[in-house]
Amino acid sequence: MKPKTKRAVEYFSFYDHTGIEERLEKMAAEGWMLEEMGPFWWTYKPIEAAKIRFAVTYFSKASPYDPAPLAGQEELAEFCAQSGWKLVHSAAQLQVFKNENENPVPLETDPQVQIGEIHKSAKKSFIPVFMMLIALGLVNAGTFLSEVGNNLIGVLATDASLFRAAGILAMCFLGIYEIGGYLIWHGRAKAYAREGKFLATKRNRIPVYATIAILLAFLALWIVRAPNGYVTIAIVLGVALAAIIPAATVMRLKKKAGASTKTVFIGAIVASAVVSATVLALLVILALNVYKANEATEEEMPLAIEDLLDQNNGSYTNKAEKKSSLFLDLYEAKQWPQPSERLPSLEYTLILPKSQAVYNLCKAALLDEYSFAYGESWIAEDPELWDAQEAYQKKSNTLELHRYVVFWENRALQIDFYWEPSDEQIKATAEKIKLWE
């Protein structure tokens, strides 16, 4: 027995009337008729399998917020019905008609009129949406590249960065693919129209589905590997709700008796604002809870000041954090005395790259960090004391620094001694760091 309805995720370019028509004809042959085009899926109802012709046309004056067909839309539907074309569904500017006659009269007879109406509709909805997507991608790309320039190692230390980079590329690619594809089709279609010919619009959907699949794979990777997976899931659900609830609000208001286009539009704005504010508040609360949890949890330290100096452990505050990604493992640790104590501090970052390419990137980033700021520079040291491949100490014209960067075969260390370390202390540091797994 067939279910009462069938929902399917369908993605077609806004102007791809040929692809939509062919899809609906295939579904009708399988016994399914379009009932509703939602923002995320289409709903079908069961029918007797039949060979039915479909035609998609455009009405540029319509908008997604119209609760009822405009006068011009009703006139269009009545006119089309005279030649056997019955309105199946209206989704903003897009109008879907069906005809059960074996050889129906074509719904569109003038290619120039068709192209003009598609273009007016595209300028009203399709093009602005994807232009905003490209702009959002470029803004995010700018901030991401800035973070990479300022803290490459920190970016490489989280899988969230990988998902973010994939998301930026996806936004830019989808926007360019859709708008670029449309502009190419529009230019060719106008040339065809001057000769009185129609140009099919069927688009290859595989690049879009492949992009979404890759993005979801990176998202799954982030969720699975995240130390606080519930926070990641909450972020994803929050973003999804911020998109779904306003769309659902629009659909509900459109079905309400007496609703106007203005009412539906205002309802969508209010719903978006309320949902966004709620999601943001929840994410802030979650972030604060995670921060407190991280503060309460002491990660084991690869190196402690007690390994180097004879100090009372109770006099120090310890802070250690581990980050892990597909690229590297990162340990950041700091020990500092109580304000009343006049004792030295220790601060360091241990990097364990997972490939030679990442090792080289980290090495370049460490040696480039503020290398020319305030008269500072890295001076090569004898690596034998560290039992390492390379070692550098930062020198300053104005400050007394005891900052070192050391490179072994499979790891790197940046360390700040807030005292002048002895050779024995350096050797002890190297021994602890080399043995850490």
Looking at the fold, whether 426 and 310 belong to one and the same domain comes out as yes
Looking at the fold, whether 316 and 242 belong to one and the same domain comes out as no
Q: Which structure tokens are listed for 38? A: 């939602």
Q: Can you tell me the distance from the alpha carbon of 410 to that of 352, in angstroms, rounded to the nearest whole number?
A: 6
Q: What is the pLDDT of residue 71?
A: 78
Q: What is the pLDDT of residue 318?
A: 87
Question: Where a domain ends, among 99, 133, 159?
Answer: 99
Please indicate, yes or no, if residue 400 is contained in any of the structural domains. yes
What are the pLDDT digits (tens) for 322-355?
A: 888 899 999 999 998 887 778 889 999 999 999 9
Please indicate, yes or no, if residue 1 is contained in any of the structural domains. no
Contact 344, 309 (CB under 8 A): yes
Q: Which structure tokens are listed for 40? A: 């995320």
H helical segments located in 255-354: 261-296
Question: Where a domain ends, among 99, 123, 139?
Answer: 99
What are the pLDDT digits (tens) for 138-193?
A: 998 999 999 898 899 999 998 888 888 998 999 999 999 999 999 999 999 999 99
Please indicate, yes or no, if residue 56 is contained in any of the structural domains. yes
Please indicate, yes or no, if residue 18 is contained in any of the structural domains. yes
Instruction: Check pLDDT > 70 for residue 239.
Output: no
Which range of residues forms the domain containing residue 32? 6-99
pTM here? 0.79
Contact 267, 253 (CB under 8 A): yes
Average pLDDT of the residues in 117-128: 91
Looking at the fold, whether 292 and 315 belong to one and the same domain comes out as no
By the 10 Å C-beta count (0-12 exposed, 13-18 middle, 19+ buried), 126 is classed as buried
Q: Can you tell me the distance from the alpha carbon of 154 to that of 164, in angstroms, rounded to the nearest whole number?
A: 14
Count of domains forming the chain: 4
Looking at the fold, whether 142 and 161 belong to one and the same domain comes out as yes
Looking at the fold, whether 36 and 141 belong to one and the same domain comes out as no
